[in-house]
Structure 1
Amino acid sequence: MFSVTNTNTVRALWRVRDHTQRSGGRSELALTHFHNGTIWRGASSGTADSLLVRDGTIVAIGSAEVDRHLNSSSFEHSPADSSESVDLDGGFLMPSFGDGHAHPIFGGLEAEGPQVRACASVTEIVTEVRRFAEANPEVEWITGASYDGSLVEGGLFDSRWLDDAAADRPVVLRAWDYHTVWCNSRALEIAGITAGTPEPELGEIPRRGDGSPLGTLREWGAVDLVDAVRPPLDEAMRLRALERAADYYLERGVTWVQDAWVEPADVETYLAASDQGRLKVRFNLALYADPRHFAEQLPAMVEARRRVEVRGDPLLSARTVKFFADGVVENETGSLLEPYCSSLHNHGLRVWEGETLAEAVRAVDAAGFQVHIHAIGDAAVRQALDAIESAMTCNGPRDRRPVIAHAQLVDADDLSRFAELGVIANMQPLWAQLDDLMTVLTLPRLGEERAGHQYRMRTILERGGRLSFGSDWPCTSGTPVEGLAIGTSRQTDAGEPAGGWTPEEIVDIDRALDCYSTAVAHQAFADHSPAVWGEIRPGASADLIRFDHDPRDVTPQELAKMAVRTTYLGGVAVHSST
């Protein structure tokens, strides 16, 4: 059975705390005692056998401390207080997961269109689009996500295939990477994309032999041509998507999410959700910086942050700015130091030319934002590190916690710079496996030797750097245990290859759990938040998850299938399954 507690319960709890603190009085408080199981405090903090939570805040750890606290004359407890004893029954309690890089609105919206994610062939995709079109004749634009780009050689999909499903209306489907879309002929026609359309800045229009557009569009410059003529999504739909995403995360034990691509319309959706009490997990917004419009964006970013902050919603912050330094390897837009195997001159896409990234990062940093840079290829990672170093030099010391997301390929000379500069490497452990995406699209483009240096998770940790985990959902699964299973084995679901792919980069389970919990909390400035979370220590918010079994005692394949029994946010059970 699956259930999500109304998040108004959490909000009511915080209102009680706030009133009590301001009035100097006391009120009915919630008291929860966890016992009879393993309480995992983190890779470096060990375990405990008992935990006491009062009013959503951890107050004592370990049976001796819990007993001393309960029996202390200074501990006031009245019959009006609600008490709960949670018997873990030999299970496992730990800090809740955080997702250090994701796209929750995108993820929630996937349920609104044709369901193409599970399709295993072009024929299946076309059939599903046709079914959706026939079932929804009133829908003006058919939009959906996200198809498997490895189903067709080179990831190049033809508009005419979608014409067979719906020729009378525009169809736009996003690929798994969310950097690529596949359109039918009607969508191309409305967008004015023809044989005479020049190659856009920061994008690519693959073409047939006669120069006509094939139907696949790569990166923002090309995708924007279609987005510019699509009607905006209904706000009610966007709010449904955000709630759907929150439920998805709570079921998986995630209570904080870094939305890593937030545009102005998304800000409005989050503010509306906050005003209506519809946020269910903690969200931090990373406002998207576009090199084509950055000069006018920065004042708007500062204003967006102000509008979020004045609400004082403990579930919402906007302290981050997101940059793309490059694209992705799968469509040869990841920026590389050495060219792709397919061409002696193709080094991929550099989104910010010259010193423009460093200049923009310095400006954002000076405005007090956290920097979050998408960098896939080794050239992009180096450019991102250089930009962050430039901001540190120009703007002086402060607690920045800059993030480089993905860091798929890092040159040997740059590996130690993560620790030297205090840069958090936010990686997606689920990607470190020999699945179809890797074998069909990535390996042929990088070559065997270079491909063997991807996702250097353990190396960055051992060189003193900080590593946090994220999912990039919905590009890939947002289920942390699935990522943990890959990160601790470098094997596919089938257990291949024996011993793991690039086994020298395997992360042990304790450190991996840290990377998906406490390390993400550090990325989130959780120690600076009104309610400290991400740790099991006195004074921290009881953001916790419960498993029936210890995830450290199972095989990777078993770990991938483990279900979260209960998710707690501020001491309130916001998800439970039995």
Structure 2
Amino acid sequence: MTIHVFFSETATLLNTNVVRILTPLSGAPFLSNSLGAKALPFSSDGSANSVLFENGVIWQGADKTDASALLVQGGRIVALDEDALAAVATSSLEITHVDLGGGFLMPSFGDGHAHPLYGGLEEFGPRVRAGQSVAEIVEEVRRFAEANPEQEWIVGASYDGSLAPNGLFDARWLDEAVSDRPVMLRAWDYHTVWCNSRALELAEITADSPEPVLGEIPRRADGSPLGTLREWGAIDLLSAVCPPFTLDQKVEALRRATAHYAGLGVTWVQDAWVEGTDIDAFLAAATQGALSTRINLAFLADPRTFPASLPALIAARDRVEALGHPLLTAHSIKFFADGVVENETGALLEPYCSGLHDHGMLVWTPEDLASAVATIDAEGFQTHIHAIGDAAVRVALDAIEHANAVNGPRDRRAVVAHVQLADAADLARFASLGVIATMQPLWAQLDALMMVLTVPRLGTERSARQYQMASLTESGASLAFGSDWPVSSAAPLDGIAVATSRTTNDGLPEGGWVPREIISAETALAAYSTGVAKQAFADLTGAPWGIIEIGASADLVWLSADPRATTPSLMPTIGILGTYLAGATTHSAHNK
């Protein structure tokens, strides 16, 4: 029997003008007719690119035997091991040979929760992320302002919120650098802003300003605004008067951001916070060939405007689907259930130790969140909920459970992102509800941020229940990893190093922090590849990715060493030698 296989993505995928080549594969001995077997028929007409990877370890997954050779044609995996070598040996085609040099080939990484647009935009402002003190940040703002006298506003990100007591930064510190123009800096968490006095003045934020809905204005003893704004209800007061980035700047930001991701071995990113004004930038970036990764958009559902905003959310999805670009989708809706622990807006079941904000802040009432999730679920969207505190995690799971009950069974793959703190009673609900826990493994360490801002707010007992990755996995829950970049490093290997050790870069504490939650390297690699692919519904596409098997899309990453045999502290030093999206090279260390 002869089987004809049609490929829709080729190495031309990343060109400005996307070409779809439909190539029937015929003319070669058919080795198997099962996607789970070792080969597909190998084309003899030369119309599809062919690449053979060999001389290294090819990781097929935690429960599979490593392969030694892999053949790609037309952007898909067509053969493995001896079948790959046999197909090449009998072919007259020109085949590119990639000598892995003893390296490690695996399914490419995905990022289940990130903000690539924001990450790319950081490069347009002062480089405050590197500042290790308030004085260094202020000096960088001064330098940037002097070098860019034409800029009406000085906008930058993202400073370390632990550099000032309780994360509270004074406008007067920035006034020393720039007093005649407004300055607006986002903190690393993107839930907090530090601004100068001129920015407060233009936003008309004064001692008489009431506390905004879903926000907070920290004040001095005399009632005047300090210069720190917390959560979007307060930050929006500044955003309303700050000129937006241009379309060209946003497109360039996405070009830089996705190129950065390709250099880290990533081929799919969940942008977890997209607003209506950003849609044009994503469409333009796709059309102009500016994307080096696949991106799925999660449109923000704002409790202050929902459900009136629902038609606009549906229309935004329709625009993306109408473009039909293979690298851009819009399947998801983003909800914030709460804020973050570090500014005490993360929602907790029990009060904060300081008591400043008592139980924190729920962005939606439980009833409104459940209703909203059921509404967007009925429209076919995937739910993606930011939930940091244990109260927020419970409310998020309750909302998803409500949608399941109201709308009936279907393959939802709802996501709860972060899951920093979850009550024991809620851990088993992830598996029973089919909810994917998309977590940030890099955060599971006792770094300065944890010691200065987090542990004092949660206390010792609750702190030891953070980031329960092993417990969730053992419960049968689906685990996916993400970086939340630019909040923290976008490099998957940085996160995997922490997930497999629970230590800082200095190896502290010895034996790991909360060692019972340490996971194996294979579990961590799977969470950053197959786990994210499941979140992305990759298995339901014509060419599934996130796996190495016959018929799958050749989304691959070539590492210089085997992470399974590498000490966690050395994992971040493993080189990314090549990244391949549907067989197309999006990053090559040899071409730098």
* Shift in CA distance, 352/27, structure 1 to aligned 2, threshold 3 Å: same
SS of equivalent residue, structure 1 residue 459: helix
Q: After superposition, what is the alpha-carbon deviation per residue over 1:7-27, rounded to whole angstroms, capped at 9, x for unaligned?
A: 9843469966534369x9966
Q: After superposition, what is the alpha-carbon deviation per residue over 1:332-358, rounded to whole angstroms, capped at 9, x for unaligned?
A: 000000000011871000100140000
* Shift in CA distance, 11/145, structure 1 to aligned 2, threshold 3 Å: closer
1:275 pairs, out of 283, 287, 308, with 287
1:109 partnered with 2:109? no
1:61 partnered with 2:64? no
1:10 partnered with 2:13? yes
* Shift in CA distance, 17/354, structure 1 to aligned 2, threshold 3 Å: closer
CA distance in 2, matches of 1:214, 1:330: 18
Q: Which residue of 1 aligns with 2:576?
A: 564
Q: After superposition, what is the alpha-carbon deviation per residue over 1:150-192, rounded to whole angstroms, capped at 9, x for unaligned?
A: 0011000000000011000000000000000001000000000
Q: Which residue of 2 aligns with 1:343?
A: 355
1:334 pairs, out of 332, 343, 346, with 346
How far did 1:554 drift?
1.1
CA distance in 2, matches of 1:555, 1:45: 22
> Which residue identity is paired with 2:322?
V
Alignment of 1:180-259 (within 5 A): 180-259=192-271
Is the 2:105–2:556 contact (alpha carbons within 8 Å) kept by the matching residues of 1?
yes
Q: Which residue of 2 aligns with 1:40?
A: 59
2:69 pairs, out of 50, 62, 65, with 50
CA distance in 2, matches of 1:513, 1:14: 33
SS of equivalent residue, structure 1 residue 128: helix
CA distance in 2, matches of 1:388, 1:145: 33
Q: After superposition, what is the alpha-carbon deviation per residue over 1:419-453, rounded to whole angstroms, capped at 9, x for unaligned?
A: 00000000000000000110000000000011000
How far did 1:238 drift?
0.9
Q: Which residue of 1 aligns with 2:434?
A: 422
CA distance in 2, matches of 1:231, 1:16: 37
Is the 1:17–1:55 contact (alpha carbons within 8 Å) kept by the matching residues of 2?
no
CA distance in 2, matches of 1:16, 1:207: 57
Q: After superposition, what is the alpha-carbon deviation per residue over 1:94-139, rounded to whole angstroms, capped at 9, x for unaligned?
A: 0000000000010001111000001011111110000001000000
Q: Which residue of 2 aligns with 1:553?
A: 565
Q: Which residue of 1 aligns with 2:403?
A: 391
> Which residue identity is paired with 2:52?
H
* Shift in CA distance, 218/445, structure 1 to aligned 2, threshold 3 Å: same
CA distance in 2, matches of 1:66, 1:238: 43
CA distance in 2, matches of 1:99, 1:347: 30
Q: Which residue of 1 aligns with 2:34?
A: none
How far did 1:386 drift?
0.2
Is the 1:8–1:277 contact (alpha carbons within 8 Å) kept by the matching residues of 2?
no
> Which residue identity is paired with 2:66?
T
How far did 1:531 drift?
2.9
1:361 partnered with 2:373? yes
Q: Which residue of 1 aligns with 2:138?
A: 126
SS of equivalent residue, structure 2 residue 383: strand
> Which residue identity is paired with 2:375?
A
SS of equivalent residue, structure 1 residue 468: strand
1:20 partnered with 2:26? no
> Which residue identity is paired with 2:97?
S
Q: Which residue of 2 aligns with 1:495?
A: 507
Is the 1:20–1:27 contact (alpha carbons within 8 Å) kept by the matching residues of 2?
no
Is the 1:13–1:55 contact (alpha carbons within 8 Å) kept by the matching residues of 2?
no
CA distance in 2, matches of 1:222, 1:403: 27
Aligned residue pair count:
564
Is the 2:11–2:583 contact (alpha carbons within 8 Å) kept by the matching residues of 1?
no
Is the 2:193–2:228 contact (alpha carbons within 8 Å) kept by the matching residues of 1?
yes
Of residues 27-36 and 302-311 in structure 1, the stretch that sits farther from structure 2 once superposed is 27-36
1:146 partnered with 2:165? no
Q: Which residue of 1 aligns with 2:31?
A: none
1:29 partnered with 2:41? no
How far did 1:70 drift?
4.5
> Which residue identity is paired with 2:408?
G
Is the 2:263–2:579 contact (alpha carbons within 8 Å) kept by the matching residues of 1?
yes
SS of equivalent residue, structure 1 residue 447: helix
Q: Which residue of 1 aligns with 2:98?
A: 86
Is the 2:11–2:49 contact (alpha carbons within 8 Å) kept by the matching residues of 1?
no
Is the 1:567–1:576 contact (alpha carbons within 8 Å) kept by the matching residues of 2?
yes
CA distance in 2, matches of 1:345, 1:509: 38
> Which residue identity is paired with 1:28?
S
CA distance in 2, matches of 1:391, 1:33: 46
Q: Which residue of 2 aligns with 1:514?
A: 526
Q: After superposition, what is the alpha-carbon deviation per residue over 1:179-206, rounded to whole angstroms, capped at 9, x for unaligned?
A: 0000100000000000000000000000
Q: After superposition, what is the alpha-carbon deviation per residue over 1:213-257, rounded to whole angstroms, capped at 9, x for unaligned?
A: 000000010000000111121111111111110111011000100
Percent identity of equivalent pairs: 61
1:461 partnered with 2:461? no
1:294 pairs, out of 293, 296, 306, with 306
Is the 2:14–2:292 contact (alpha carbons within 8 Å) kept by the matching residues of 1?
no
* Shift in CA distance, 245/38, structure 1 to aligned 2, threshold 3 Å: same
Is the 1:314–1:530 contact (alpha carbons within 8 Å) kept by the matching residues of 2?
no
* Shift in CA distance, 345/113, structure 1 to aligned 2, threshold 3 Å: closer
1:477 pairs, out of 464, 486, 489, with 489
CA distance in 2, matches of 1:344, 1:143: 29
**Alignment gaps of 5+ in structure 2:** 1-9, 28-42
1:325 pairs, out of 331, 334, 337, with 337
CA distance in 1, matches of 2:190, 2:180: 25
Q: After superposition, what is the alpha-carbon deviation per residue over 1:319-344, rounded to whole angstroms, capped at 9, x for unaligned?
A: 00000000000000000000000118
* Shift in CA distance, 175/8, structure 1 to aligned 2, threshold 3 Å: farther
> Which residue identity is paired with 1:175?
A
Of residues 457-466 and 528-537 in structure 1, the stretch that sits farther from structure 2 once superposed is 528-537
Is the 2:533–2:545 contact (alpha carbons within 8 Å) kept by the matching residues of 1?
yes
Q: Normalising by structure 2, what TM-score?
A: 0.93
Q: Normalising by structure 1, what TM-score?
A: 0.95
CA distance in 2, matches of 1:230, 1:293: 21
Is the 2:111–2:483 contact (alpha carbons within 8 Å) kept by the matching residues of 1?
yes
